[in-house]
A and B are shown apart, each in its own frame.
Chain A
Amino acid sequence: MSQIHRRIRRQARILRMLATLLLAAAAVPSTARAQDIDDRVRQLEEQVAELRGLLEARENADLAEIRRQIEAITTEIEMLRLGTDLVRAERSRFGFGPAASKVYSSPHGVSLGGYGETLYENFSAEREDGSPSSARDQLDVLRAIVYAGYKFDDRFLFNSEIEFEHASTGSAGSASIEFAYLDYLFSDRAGIRAGLVLLPLGFLNELHEPTTWLGTERPVVESRIIPSTWRESGIGVFAEFDGLEIRGFLVNGLDAVGGGSSEAGGFSSAGIRGGRQKGSKAVAEDFGFAARADYSGVPGLSFGLSGYIGESGQGAENPLRPGEELGVRTLIAEGHAAYKANGWDLRALAASADISDVAALNTVRGLVGSESVGERLTGWYVHAGFDVLRSVDTRVELIPYVRYESVNTQADVPLGFSADPANDLEIWTIGAAVRPIPRIVLKADYQLQSNQARTGVNQFDLSLGYIF
């Protein structure tokens, strides 16, 4: 900075000397020459003014940079004085939930975190049309998760999520790795990631800790169209700048056919969830690319877009074009917006998936009639919650909420196939969440489920969740 100042001052001195010499020359009586000198002086004055403007602009830019640096330093000092656990306990990084982000605020070495959810479902005895539902009530330790991370140094870190589902590794449950990756951080705000990664789509695929969203069950849109929790192996980049966050990953593609080494079940009339390979001996004949961009420059408000494109045939032969590979190009597009401030928790999300070669895929999978995979899947939801204790002198949050969603996993099917009306559904969810402290939540809600086949079954749910 001082070199630039010196250079600009030196140039200004030279210009002043030139101006003095020219003014001295102007003392020679000659009208034409005087005119030339006037022009020249005007030019020099303009150049001096321009240089002065440049100098001031530079000083303003330097001042803004100094202010930014002071802000960063004072924030760091405050954190050191109060303690990182006290200041950064709730901080999410790079799309992950607060517990999954622990390794990023860890100074070095091992970090541990986790979350869990227990869900009680009480089903109505009757379906929408009055026929018996035969659904049996269930109480399930849905998930118990351990996050384990290790910060090698300021640049390299490892982060992982080990998940036990349904409290068992027997036939009813499973133990799996939801993510396990290495990051190289270019700076505190950007890096490159490789390993088993969560795809950056929608609200919940990356950020699904139970205290961070409303509802006892995840929205169907973020289960059947965005197949949360969707993780695949790959590599990508992530960055944050001034309210803008971006992430993009190249990963192995979905397996629409199924039955391969990864034991993916393949796409179905209910959606693309069965195509996930989960990093387990994934067939890697086809790859996909997922990316998102979010803007959260206004406090409390965020909005963004995400998408995925890739072929999902994974080398299977196209039965309608012998000798050719089955493509099954899968394109998922999603947009979302959220407002979380002043006690409000508002969200809206819309997603669609377009799938090609569905007729051939149905043939390979032996699907007929209304069993067809959808060529187009659409869905959206909105929810609203408000902390009614916001103005009360307590740490407790009590948030009544309502959610509406509409999903159709067979919005379009190929010629010769039909849509199952049961896959065109609407769900109203009305309930409340209590957070005695921010890391524990109890939720209760009632879901009114309806579909075009009138086979919807209402249910009352209770869930208990925690993060640490």
Chain B
Amino acid sequence: MTNRRNGATGALCAACLLFSAGALRPVPASGQVLLTQDEALRLAFPGFVEVERRTAFLGEVERARVADLAGSKASGALVTYYVGRTPDGPVGVAYFDVHRVRTLPEVLMVVVTPTGRIDRIEILRFAEPREYMAPAGWLELFEDHGLVGDLANKNTVAWITGATLTSRAVTDAVRRVLAVHEILDPLGDGTQ
């Protein structure tokens, strides 16, 4: 009786450990919302980081400059962004970009370092068929790239085979965010 009980307990503990082990791996999200905004910001600014929500308004001239720098159509007049700070200073700025891939929307979070380079990119929503979604490994290719120089050439990051529209949409979004970041200079020190 006791042995049987211990066996059952052991099996449950093993199941628990397996569940935990599975949970600790990166989780492929399902459904249309892959990450909520809160979850994305937690990924953008882990640890003891304060996150401040800010809003900026771009005039016609600024929007034209953004379009020129990004090499694509102008962004909206209203820009909301999130600045992460520690007592040692700002650690980055997170932007959320909404765009269409083919006919359906994608929402990306693009985090820019204080020096104006890409820190990370996360997909929050992808409404097109899942096989067209950019893999995490491809998004990582953008990391540490800036607007001036390497990303100025659209072919710096090779496009995903069979998902040209996705590649174009993500690249345009990243360039647009970097251009907005350049124009806004949200950390106010002109370091980028």
Using CB atoms and an 8 Å cutoff, list the residues of chain A in contact with chain B. 70-71, 74, 77-78, 81-83, 85-87, 89-90, 120, 122, 137, 342-343, 390-396, 398, 434, 436-438, 442, 444, 460, 462
B141 within 8 A of A: no
Q: Which of B32-40, B61-69, B151-159, B171-179 contacts A (4 or more CB under 8 A)?
A: B32-40
What chain B residues lie within 8 Å of A85 (beta carbons)? Answer: 32-33
Question: How many residues on B have C-beta within 8 angstroms of the other chain's C-beta atoms?
Answer: 34
Which of chain B's residues 39-63 have a Cβ closer than 8 Å to chain A? Answer: 39, 42-43, 46-48, 55
Task: State whether B46 touches A393 (Cβ < 8 A).
Answer: yes
Question: Given A390-B47, A392-B46, A437-B29: A398 and B98 within 8 A (CB)?
Answer: no
- Measured in the bound complex, the distance between the Cα atoms of B96 and A395 in whole Å is 18
Asked whether B39 lies within 8 Å of A395 as measured between CB atoms, the reply is: yes
Asked if residues B23 and A87 are in contact (CB atoms below 8 Å), the reply is no
Contacting residues, chain B, for A77 (C-beta < 8 A): 78, 80
Give Cα A70–Cα B8 distance, bound, in whole angstroms: 59
Complex partner residue of A82 from B9, B55, B107, CB under 8 angstroms? B107
A89 CB to closest chain B CB, in angstroms?
A: 4
Extra A-B contacts (17), CB below 8 Å, given A82-B98, A82-B125, A83-B125: A70-B55, A74-B55, A78-B80, A85-B33, A86-B36, A120-B12, A390-B46, A391-B47, A392-B46, A393-B43, A394-B24, A395-B42, A396-B23, A396-B27, A434-B20, A442-B16, A442-B20
- Chain B residues near A90: list those with CB within 8 A: 36, 38
A74 touches B23 (CB 8 A): no
Q: Is the CB of B5 within 8 A of A434?
A: no
Instruction: Let me know if B19 and A442 touch, CB within 8 A.
Output: yes
Do A462 and B16 touch (CB < 8 A)?
A: yes
Give bound CA distance, A109 to B124, whole Å: 26
Cβ of B26 within 8 Å of any chain A Cβ, yes or no, is yes
Q: Which residue of A lies closest to B55 (CB)?
A: A74
Q: Could you give 8 example pairs across A and B, Cβ below 8 Å?
A: A70-B55, A71-B55, A77-B78, A82-B96, A83-B125, A393-B43, A395-B35, A434-B23
Output the least CB separation between A414 and chain B (Å). 44
**Residues of chain B with a CB closer than 8 A to A122's CB:** 9
Instruction: Indicate if the CB atoms of A74 and B107 lie closer than 8 Å.
Output: no
* Chain B residues closer than 8 Å to A390, beta-carbon distance: 46-47
Of chain B, the residue at the smallest CB distance from A460 is B9
Known: A392-B46, A396-B24. A444 touches B16 (CB 8 A): yes
